[in-house]
Amino acid sequence: MRNIIYWVLSAFLTAAIAIVSLRYVTNFWLLSFIYSFQIHLGVIFVAAGLVILAVRRHVYGLALLLAALLLTAHGIIMLREFAGEDRGADTAPLFRLMSFNVAIDNWKNSTAIADMVIASNADVVNLLEAKPLTFHLQRLFKVYPYHIGCDHGKDSCDTLLLSKRPFATRQVASIGSLRKDRLAVASVDFGGQTVNLVSAHLTKPYFDDYQAEELGDLDKALGSISGPLVLAGDFNSSSIAPGIQAFLRKQDLKTMAPEPATWPIAAGRFGIAIDHIFARAPLHLTSLKRLADNLGSNHSGLIAEFVLDGETASAQ
């Protein structure tokens, strides 16, 4: 009986490890979301491997445990790949940015969310699924007189980019073919340095190959932008998902590691980061934190601070 249990458990674990390991062979959209959980699944596989070895000590069980350990370790290594250099906390930040997916049906918390945005002391605020804030826009505009989005009533209120400083340039565009106007591109002058701000909201990766199409369009948009750049938004995937990895490498984008987990809310700090704030040199993050309260959203928000390379800043 022990032998039967051993081989049944081994068969299930073999299949599970094989499915997650497919990321090294193909970026199949149906499995893309699973790839985001590689570290979490790896830990579960390690625990399962130990249970299997407790049932029976056998070389195949050891091989499964080793494979699980390798999957977990590589997931951690991949997270570190996009960590920017430590710039220290002794330099005054150039600006502060908040990014938060409000959740399109989160009407009952809209007043609290507006209060939180106003109290954040952020220079720029990136709000996604901002429809519940429709009736608080005038109050927000008093603190943030410059905005992109939500100009034509609640039905057009999805991405809302708020700024205390005027936009030197501004553009709203679509990425992919599933949803419209989920890309906002702007530039703002901070202390004589123009910084490019990009807000993006990607489709869930298991909706066919729409996310891959969106990443392709986003890659083209960012490829035409030179100078300091920050990209913020809801990617619905972690940084270790293959499609996101390829995009970040090509655009040379960095963040802080480990990124704060933003979903699922119930998992708290043990979830995964599917909402991101990235920067491209000469801009660098010096702080990246999760907002203390999700205020009814199914995502946690983020707030970040940035500095410029000393040489670049002094050259302006």
Tens of pLDDT along 152-175? 766 779 999 999 999 999 999 999
What pTM value is reported for the model?
0.93
Domain of residue 113, residue span:
95-315
Q: What is the residue-averaged pLDDT of the chain?
A: 94
314 pLDDT more than 60: no
- Tell me, yes or no, whether 196 and 277 share the same domain: yes
In this predicted structure, what is the pLDDT of residue 311? 44
Transcribe the chain into DSSP letters: -HHHHHHHHHHHHHHHHHHHHGGGT---GGGHHHHHTHHHHHHHHHHHHHHHHHH---HHHHHHHHHHHHHHHHHHHHHHHTBPPP--SSSPPSEEEEEEE--TT-GGGHHHHHHHHHHT--SEEEEES-GGGGGGHHHHHHH--EEES--S-GGG-S-EEEESS-EEEEEEE--SSSSSS-EEEEEEEETTEEEEEEEEEPPPTTSTTHHHHHHHHHHHHHHT--SSEEEEEE-SS-TTSHHHHHHHHHHT-BB-SSPPP-B-GGGGGGSB--EEEEEETTEEEEEEEE-S--TT-SS--EEEEEEE-HHHHHH-
Which range (73-77, 89-93, 116-120, 251-255) has the least confidence? Answer: 89-93
Domain count, the chain: 2
Say if residue 160 is in the same domain as residue 123: yes
Q: Which residue, of 29, 55, 81, is where some domain finishes? A: 81
Residue 156 inside a domain? The answer is yes
